[in-house]
């Protein structure tokens, strides 16, 4: 779709693995300090880390946005790939907004590889699509966190499901075959920002993070 893509995983400025996310970035303007919201960056996801890395294509776009902000004396703006005044930015070298959401979701789901909570552990991650957890309290109890790509609500949404799977080995192919007749109980719908807290509420603390504390 485009020549210069945003990879879901890169390096945070702190040196750790950086996952694609968005944040507000300060920028120096001729008339003072400005802020651009929803800028794609790579961040290690540690709440203690305030560093991040800007993808090169994003840095170039920020220069264009900053120039427009100076021309109009703005101090706040929201990151977009294409301005309403300049359609030349819609070349194939610029990722589409849909593609940006997809790689952001892929980066988010990759964070859960091998994660273990007090009452559940992640047994499978399908990047950009789904996270499967198995209960460590009740045998055969599983949970599915699924990206809802077709959601009409604003933002990035996931659905959380509970199901029972009796087989000892769990693979994505087996799940797809089972799901044709198997029963998934939807527990709720969550925005991307709500997922971490919801999983902690449901399954307890992340064991690895707790051991670090």
Of the chain, the end-to-end C-alpha distance in Å amounts to: 43
* Buried b or exposed e, range 25-37, using 16+ CB within 10 angstroms: bebebeeeebbbe
The predicted structure's pLDDT at residue 7? 83
Angle among Cα 24, 15, 193 to the nearest 5 degrees reads 40
The predicted structure's pLDDT at residue 75? 92
For the record, the structure tokens of 6 come out as: 């945003």
Q: What is the DSSP letter of 206?
A: B
Whole-structure pTM value: 0.72
Of 86, 75, 84, 90, the residue nearest 2 (C-alpha): 90
E strand or H helix at 99: helix 97-110
Cα 156 to Cα 148: distance, rounded to the nearest angstrom: 8
Predicted confidence pLDDT, tens digits, the chain (213 residues): 233 567 888 999 999 999 888 889 999 999 999 999 888 899 987 888 999 999 988 998 999 999 999 999 999 998 887 654 444 444 445 565 567 788 889 889 988 988 999 999 999 999 889 999 999 999 999 999 999 988 788 889 999 999 999 988 888 889 999 999 999 999 999 999 999 999 999 999 988 765 544
What are the boundaries of each domain within the chain?
A: 9-108, 112-212
Q: Are 164 and 181 in contact (CB under 8 A)?
A: no
Q: Are 118 and 110 in contact (CB under 8 A)?
A: no
The predicted structure's pLDDT at residue 159? 97
Separation of CA 75 from chain center: 27
DSSP 158-190: EEEEEEE---SS--HHHHHHHHTTS--EEEEEE
Cα 96 to Cα 191: distance, rounded to the nearest angstrom: 21
């Amino acid at each position: 779709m485009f020549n210069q893509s945003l990879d879901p995983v890169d390096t945070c400025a702190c040196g750790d693995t950086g996952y694609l996310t968005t944040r507000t970035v300060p920028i120096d303007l001729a008339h003072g300090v400005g802020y651009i919201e929803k800028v794609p960056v790579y961040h290690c996801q540690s709440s203690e880390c305030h560093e991040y890395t800007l993808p090169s294509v994003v840095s170039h776009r920020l220069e264009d946005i900053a120039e427009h902000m100076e021309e109009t004396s703005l101090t706040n703006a929201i990151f977009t790939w294409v301005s309403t005044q300049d359609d030349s930015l819609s070349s194939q070298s610029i990722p589409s907004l849909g593609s940006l959401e997809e790689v952001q979701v892929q980066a988010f789901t990759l964070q859960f590889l091998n994660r273990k909570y007090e009452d559940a552990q992640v047994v499978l991650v399908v990047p950009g699509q789904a996270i499967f957890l198995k209960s460590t309290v009740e045998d055969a109890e599983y949970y599915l966190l699924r990206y809802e790509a077709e959601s009409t609500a604003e933002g990035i949404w996931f659905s959380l499901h509970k199901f029972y799977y009796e087989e000892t080995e769990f693979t994505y192919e087996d799940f797809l075959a089972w799901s044709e007749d198997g029963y998934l109980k939807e527990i709720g719908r969550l925005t991307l920002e709500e997922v971490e807290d919801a999983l902690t509420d449901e399954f307890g603390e992340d064991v690895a993070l707790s051991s670090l504390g």
